[in-house]
Structure 1
Amino acid sequence: MGTAAGSDEGTAPSIAAPAGPGMPAVAPDLTQREAPERAPSPDCSSRWRPAHPTDVGLTLSRLRRGRSDPTFQVSQDGAVWRTTLTRSGPATLRLTQSGLTELRCEAWGEGAREALEGAPDLLGERDDPSGFVAQHPLVRDAHRRWPGLRIPRTGRVIESLIPAILEQKVISLQATASFRALVRAHGTPAPGPAPAGMRVPPSARAWQLIPSWEWHRAGVDPQRSRTVMVCLAVTRQLEAASDLTAAEASARLRAVPGIGEWTAAEVAQRAFGDADALSVGDYHLAGAIGHTLFDADFDDALMVAAMRIWQPHRYRVVRLLEASGTLGKPRHGPRLAFVDHRGH
């Protein structure tokens, strides 16, 4: 949804006032069941046309931490539901679209207005694909097939950082199970008519109050839980990183003990909307890039060297390949093993 250089601005979102209370209950009919209760109107809503084609589901899919993420769900009608904890309070967002050119956001909760104002960024308003050249047949094909893929920007550092820390050195299923258990236990109920079971992420203080034995029971080893606590102690400084340049923000994140290049990149992709943030140090990525694009075995150094041709869009290339289902490598070695820290 970002505006390419030299193009016209997209239509600015218009924020609507609350539509008022729900419809009055329908009088019961002895021959029919009572009419279902109407869902409550949003606290605020907006509708706008982005400057670039935007696929809501595809753009936001990387914000989801597993299919049972209590902060992110997709309903049967295709609407994306997401919770967040803004400076103003908790909020639930419902994001829908008509084609690739008209988007709608509805919001509930104390933080509804703030979350709504951030919805364009969330859907890629600041993502600028101008200057991107595919350079490779597979990338070119993916770019043609998925024109609505944008890089989202949440602006919420801790909400991206804690799940990334939980994913350090463990398999994804283990990390998402830990995140799910902790958010369900310590998050707050999602405002509005959100799908059942949705929760708002815990506040920094709520994360800090989780006892060590509960981290342990959720499968999080002491090293990762200590890293979370160190980050929470400097929450204000880390949240302010969203206003810095990409290099400055990465440096601030990596200055925290336990936060390396991989974790900083994972946060930058989501919180900062950094289309160039390459997850160096990922267990699979270098090999997948090497085999998919160059038919060769790659380590991190070779991947970084080969992908210089796509700067500043290296993460965009990864997302396009993921969306097309072509990113991968033949499996000849063992998978990363599940490590159960609860028995340690």
Structure 2
Amino acid sequence: MKKILIGYISNTKGSGLDNYIFQLVDVLKREDVQIDLLSSAIDEDLKEKYKQDSNVRLLPIDRIPKPKKRYNQIQDYARENKYDIAYFNISEAFNCIGNLAVKKYVKTIITHSHSSGNDNPNKIKREISKIVHQLTKPLLNKNTDVRYACSDLAAAWLFGNHPFRLIRNTVDADRFYFDPKNRKMIREKYDVSDDCKIIGFVGNLTYQKNPNALLNLFKMTSKDDKNIELWILGDGILRKELEDRVKNEKIQNVRFLGKKKNIEAFYSALDLFILPSNFEGYPLVGVEAQVNGLPCLFSKKITKDIALSDRAQFFDPDNSIEGCKKVETLLQLGRMDPLCFNKNIVYDLKDQQKEFIDIFVNGSIV
């Protein structure tokens, strides 16, 4: 039986990185492997998720602010279990503690880059984090055998010019396909007519996602069109600030709906998806929205690889005039059938399962 150590589950309820790991584990747990998951946020929900899976274990570790204790914990797990593969999914180089801890005890260390920036809301701390990230990149790469990244930008951020293998973030397409029944149900629930245009955002309300640019864009868009709404689906440290801004600036028709477990139903209720991020790796929400058939407007700071069709366009989040023109164009274009997507782009988890098995079970790592 092959033994695999996987890090890290943040358990922030809706994290794209967590969802990627969960999907991977769902594929691998059916194979003859032992899967150990590192997490500093193990709760009852996470225990419940894997309680029926005898070959999946949750291993507690301390958070990054306690690096020595975290290092010792991961090293003890590696020494005791003699893993074939240690697979670390990270966003910044200073989170290379796991790589260092397992170096003597694991045959192959894989590092997978999932981001292209730092999400600290404080500008000074963000710049300090970027400096530490750059200083620790050589250490990370010295203690990595194989490099994966979800996009070209994510690879450059973590690995510089080192060679890497591209592993796309995929979704369970069957779950996210457009459903007219869901559209009708959600719109009736919120008392919205079918001719009203709904612009949607899904994600954490943080610096990374740049939600103030979303409000700027909607404020300008809704000046000339009162039959339009903005639905913000997500939570985060900026929510109160955003709600206050909507109130103070009297921006009409904005709904803060929080996180939703049945997010697929909400995609079907929307007419346009916007993601104005300051940076991304390869955003899962962008894949989900496109699989639903939605036209999408992405920040130019996001990899162009996220576009699955011509219904995905890009704008400068600091240029609301440009954004408004593209909103109008995309709303006119409407939905697109995923069958018309570029056939060379993998977006469905079912099509990626073989790749996961080849890597982690059959040994086709590079």
TM interval, shorter chain, is under 0.3
The TM-score normalised by the length of structure 1 is 0.27
